[in-house]
């Protein structure tokens, strides 16, 4: 592919935040992907190290590098409050404008243009580095009045911003740049900026997963040094979905590795020396919730020599008693505990089912084919409750169906079929792993509106309108239904508190919330409908789980909804 470098206007690579936001605007209004990449590469090519790191993170809709312990946790309502404090707009006007623009970035731009307060401290233009350090400060604040302190730091940043800078500051905080750049395109921009093959960037991304580190290595000509590092989680390889054994067999036309699909939480375990860390799907450190897994990891050995080993594992933690999987919510109970006592460990026993390995004793294994990684895993003697997942090789649709039924009989969700020759692709959803579930799959959607219930549920927010993202339209949220069954009273109480903390607007009968809380929804079928802006509606939706382990980036797409819709006749006929 040729990327257009010549005809695009040069933006300049100063560390100023204003230059960065000007670049973003140019990228946003440029339709052609080649030209977007061209703009980007010229901008990145002459940046200093610190600004480069920050720019690629922000452009990839990230604030901190993958695996960083920092999270800024600033809600819509805090930003709205700041905007009303620094401008001539009162709270109501801010809400009205938000409803009019439907976009926090645009609202911030407008409100900042009506600023009545100016910064007393700002002497120089805002730089990328100052913005990044501000975010880091906000993320590091804890304690009783942390929200007040966070708000003050952020307010300082907004005061230093021009309207356009405020727009992008808000977009960065919300993790949605919406300028038509994916992390993949940023990778191409980095490759072009530093004159390296895109393939080399991809390879390095495979081991690091951190675009900011890779950009810096590319700049220094050190891409070959990109390695997986202890206690720095790598992105998870993700599975695609297919809707029947025949579809899978027809697609692959070869033997596949077949495993049960466990209903727990994805976890990555790093063990180096006597230290162990466990990371959740969104890369948070959940080690403290599972002391028995830490103990088991330290006591796992190489079967041949019984020597201690270092490793990075991928697998699923699930609650299990007497060989029967417990409901996913039992596990959530344990995750919520600050202090995991012996009693809780006994009440909710867990198993860590390991299905992949990224590193063993200093050697990276992600480039090796899956069947070899499985062989490596089989050489490790795991101490319980860590176990190696059982796997089989299947060739025919009949074999897949038999395994599927076996999995469902035990109480698991279905199967994951894996291509034996495939490498481990961190952070990518591809057709190397395929999940197969009998029910019409589930949809991960985000709550956008919550309404008060009736009867014994009056006063609590028990009816939820939820949305998926429209991947063809800047990931805008599209509503696909409303659900009010599936949760216990206790869960509704908890979720009501959480929803109130992310409220954007009070409608009286309910509230509009910042899209943050993810629900896993099961349903009977999907219908076309003009009731919702997605054009679809779920029939008989039920809340299967509250997915605290997922965030807005993990919600399903309108394309998935469409695919389920198109495939359901086939499934119903089975
Ligand atoms: P979903 O969350 O529906 O996209 O399904 C994919 C998830 O299934 C993964 O992220 C894992 O958490 C989980 N899973 C359960 N069993 C397996 C398995 N054997 N291999 C891979 N993923 C699995």
| Per-residue pLDDT reduced to its tens digit, 221-242 | 999 888 888 998 888 999 988 8
- Identify the residue whose C-alpha is closest to ligand 1 atom 4: 239
Q: What is the mean pLDDT of residues 298-311?
A: 92
- Identify the residue whose C-alpha is closest to ligand 1 atom 1: 239
The residues annotated with a catalytic role in the active site are: 261
Has residue 567 got a pLDDT over 70?
no
Q: What is the mean pLDDT of residues 88-92?
A: 89
Q: b vs e for 62-100, b when ≥16 Cβ sit within 10 Å of the residue's Cβ? A: bbbbbbbeeebebbbbbbbbbbbbbbebeeebbbebbee
Least confident of 59-68, 256-265, 365-374: 59-68
SS3 (DSSP) at 205: helix
Residue 165 phi/psi, 5-degree rounding, is: -65, -40
DSSP 3-state percent helix, strand, coil across the chain (nearest 5):
40, 25, 35
**Residue found by looking up tokens 């006592």 in the block:** 341
Task: Name which residue leads in pLDDT, 542 or 218.
Answer: 218
What's the 69 CA to ligand 1 centre distance in angstroms? 24
Expressed in angstroms, the distance from the first to the final Cα of the chain is 44
Question: Taking CB atoms and a 6 Å cutoff, what residues make up the pocket around ligand 1?
Answer: 238-239, 259, 261-262, 266, 316, 355, 389, 416, 435
- Say if CB 378 and CB 388 are below 8 A apart: yes
Has residue 47 got a pLDDT over 60?
yes
**Residues of the chain with pLDDT > 90: what percent?**
58
Q: What pLDDT, on the 0 to 100 scale, is given for residue 9? A: 37
What's the 316 CA to ligand 1 centre distance in angstroms? 7
Strands of 361-442, DSSP E: 363-364, 380-381, 386-388, 392-394, 414-418, 429-437
Q: What pLDDT, on the 0 to 100 scale, is given for residue 555? A: 94
Q: What pLDDT, on the 0 to 100 scale, is given for residue 336? A: 78
Q: What pLDDT, on the 0 to 100 scale, is given for residue 54? A: 96
What's the 520 CA to ligand 1 centre distance in angstroms? 14
Q: What is the mean pLDDT of residues 160-164?
A: 95
Report the mean per-residue pLDDT for the chain: 88
Q: Pick from 233, 269, 316, 204: which is nearest to 65 by CA?
A: 233
- Atom from ligand 1 closest to the CA of residue 238: 10
The domain limits of the chain are 5-61+180-225, 76-174, 244-437, 442-573
What's the 414 CA to ligand 1 centre distance in angstroms? 10
Task: Name which residue leads in pLDDT, 486 or 435.
Answer: 435
- Atom from ligand 1 closest to the CA of residue 260: 19
- Say if CB 257 and CB 248 are below 8 A apart: no
Question: pTM here?
Answer: 0.62
Domain 76-174 class, CATH top level: mainly alpha
Has residue 569 got a pLDDT over 50?
no
Q: What pLDDT, on the 0 to 100 scale, is given for residue 308? A: 92
- Atom from ligand 1 closest to the CA of residue 442: 3
What's the 261 CA to ligand 1 centre distance in angstroms? 6
Q: What pLDDT, on the 0 to 100 scale, is given for residue 4? A: 37
What's the 415 CA to ligand 1 centre distance in angstroms? 9
- Identify the residue whose C-alpha is closest to ligand 1 atom 3: 442
101-119 residue pLDDT tens = 778 899 999 999 998 877 6
- Tell me the pLDDT band of 391, cut-offs 50, 70 and 90: very high
Has residue 12 got a pLDDT over 90?
no
Q: Which of 237, 257, 262, 267 gets mutated to test ligand 1 (max ligand atoms within 8 A of its CB)?
A: 262
**Is the bond preceding 511 in cis, omega lying within 30 degrees of 0?**
no
- How many Å apart are CA 538 and CA 564, to the nearest integer? 11
Q: What pLDDT, on the 0 to 100 scale, is given for residue 440? A: 58
Q: Pick from 491, 479, 493, 486: which is nearest to 520 by CA?
A: 486
Domain 442-573 class, CATH top level: mainly beta
Has residue 1 got a pLDDT over 60?
no
Question: What tokens were used for 101?
Answer: 């623009």
Q: What is the mean pLDDT of residues 295-311?
A: 93
**Fold identical between 244-437 and 442-573?**
no
Q: What pLDDT, on the 0 to 100 scale, is given for residue 241? A: 81
- Identify the residue whose C-alpha is closest to ligand 1 atom 8: 261
Q: Which of 259, 315, 316 gets mutated to test ligand 1 (max ligand atoms within 8 A of its CB)?
A: 316
514-544 residue pLDDT tens = 999 999 998 877 888 888 999 999 887 889 8
Strands of 265-349, DSSP E: 265-272, 275-279, 301-302, 311-321, 324-325
Q: Which of 238, 425, 435, 544 gets mutated to test ligand 1 (max ligand atoms within 8 A of its CB)?
A: 435
Has residue 6 got a pLDDT over 60?
no
Q: What is the mean pLDDT of residues 268-287?
A: 92
**CATH number of the domain at 244-437, please?**
3.30.470.30
- Atom from ligand 1 closest to the CA of residue 433: 21
What's the 268 CA to ligand 1 centre distance in angstroms? 13
Q: What pLDDT, on the 0 to 100 scale, is given for residue 292? A: 96
Q: b vs e for 14-37, b when ≥16 Cβ sit within 10 Å of the residue's Cβ? A: bbbbbbbbbbbebbeebeebbbbb
Q: What pLDDT, on the 0 to 100 scale, is given for residue 568? A: 60
Q: What is the mean pLDDT of residues 199-205?
A: 88
What's the 378 CA to ligand 1 centre distance in angstroms? 20
Q: Which of 266, 427, 433 gets mutated to test ligand 1 (max ligand atoms within 8 A of its CB)?
A: 266
Q: What pLDDT, on the 0 to 100 scale, is given for residue 558? A: 94
- Atom from ligand 1 closest to the CA of residue 237: 10
- Identify the residue whose C-alpha is closest to ligand 1 atom 20: 416
**Residues of the chain with pLDDT > 70: what percent?**
95
- Tell me the pLDDT band of 265, cut-offs 50, 70 and 90: very high
- Identify the residue whose C-alpha is closest to ligand 1 atom 6: 239
Helix locations, 276-369, DSSP H: 291-298, 328-336, 342-347
- Identify the residue whose C-alpha is closest to ligand 1 atom 21: 416
Q: What pLDDT, on the 0 to 100 scale, is given for residue 519? A: 95
Question: What tokens were used for 231?
Answer: 């206690």
- Tell me the pLDDT band of 124, cut-offs 50, 70 and 90: confident
447-468 residue pLDDT tens = 999 998 877 777 889 999 999 9
- Identify the residue whose C-alpha is closest to ligand 1 atom 12: 266
Q: What pLDDT, on the 0 to 100 scale, is given for residue 67? A: 64
Residue 422 phi/psi, 5-degree rounding, is: -75, 145
């Amino acid at each position: 592919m040729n990327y257009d470098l010549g005809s695009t206007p040069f933006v300049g690579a100063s560390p100023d935040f204003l230059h960065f936001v000007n670049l973003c605007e140019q990228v946003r209004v440029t339709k052609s992907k080649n030209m977007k990449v061209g703009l980007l590469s010229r901008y990145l090519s002459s940046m200093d190290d610190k600004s480069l790191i920050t720019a690629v993170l922000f452009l990839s809709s990230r604030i901190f590098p993958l695996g960083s312990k920092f999270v800024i946790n600033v809600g819509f309502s805090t930003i709205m409050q700041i905007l009303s404090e620094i401008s001539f707009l009162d709270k109501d006007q801010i809400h009205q404008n938000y409803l009019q623009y439907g976009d926090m970035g645009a609202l911030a731009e407008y409100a900042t243009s009506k600023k009545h307060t100016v910064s007393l401290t700002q002497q120089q233009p805002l730089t990328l580095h100052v913005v990044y350090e501000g975010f880091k400060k906000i993320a590091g604040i804890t304690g009783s009045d942390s929200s007040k302190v966070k708000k003050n730091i952020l307010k300082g940043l907004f005061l230093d911003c021009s309207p356009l800078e405020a727009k992008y500051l808000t977009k960065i905080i919300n993790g949605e740049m919406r300028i038509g750049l994916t992390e993949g395109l940023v990778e191409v921009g980095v490759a072009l900026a530093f004159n390296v093959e895109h393939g080399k960037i991809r390879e390095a991304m495979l081991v690091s997963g951190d675009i900011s580190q890779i950009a810096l290595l590319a700049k220094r000509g050190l891409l070959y040094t990109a390695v997986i590092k202890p206690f720095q989680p790598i992105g998870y390889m993700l599975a695609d979905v297919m809707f029947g054994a025949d579809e899978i067999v027809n697609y692959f036309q070869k033997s596949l590795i077949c495993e049960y699909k466990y209903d727990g939480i994805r976890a990555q375990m790093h063990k180096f020396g006597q230290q162990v860390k466990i990371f959740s799907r969104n890369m948070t450190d959940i080690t403290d919730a599972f002391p028995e897994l830490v103990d088991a990891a330290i006591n796992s050995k190489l079967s041949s020599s019984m020597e201690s080993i270092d490793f990075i594992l991928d697998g699923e933690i699930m609650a299990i008693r007497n060989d029967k999987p417990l409901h996913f919510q039992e596990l959530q109970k344990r995750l919520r505990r600050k202090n995991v006592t012996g009693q809780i460990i006994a009440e909710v026993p867990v198993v860590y089912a390991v299905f992949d390995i990224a590193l063993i004793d200093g050697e990276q294994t992600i480039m090796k084919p899956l069947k070899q990684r499985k062989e490596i895993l089989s050489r490790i003697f795991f101490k319980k409750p860590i176990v190696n997942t059982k796997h089989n090789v299947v060739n025919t649709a009949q074999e897949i169906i038999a395994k599927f039924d076996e999995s469902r009989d035990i109480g698991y969700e279905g199967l994951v079929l894996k291509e034996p020759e495939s490498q481990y692709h961190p952070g990518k959803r591809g057709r190397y792993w395929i999940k197969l579930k009998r029910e019409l799959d589930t949809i991960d959607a985000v709550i956008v509106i919550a309404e008060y219930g009736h009867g014994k549920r009056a006063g609590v927010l028990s009816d939820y309108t939820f949305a998926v993202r429209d991947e063809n339209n800047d990931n805008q949220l599209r509503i696909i239904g409303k659900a009010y069954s599936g949760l216990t009273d206790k869960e509704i109480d908890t979720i009501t508190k959480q929803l109130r903390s992310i409220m954007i607007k009070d409608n009286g009968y309910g509230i509009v919330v910042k899209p943050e809380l993810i629900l896993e929804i099961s349903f009977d079928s999907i219908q076309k409908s003009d009731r919702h802006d997605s054009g679809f509606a779920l029939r008989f939706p039920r809340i299967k789980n509250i997915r605290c382990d997922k965030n807005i980036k993990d919600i399903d797409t309108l394309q998935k909804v469409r695919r389920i819709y198109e495939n359901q006749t086939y499934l119903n006929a089975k």
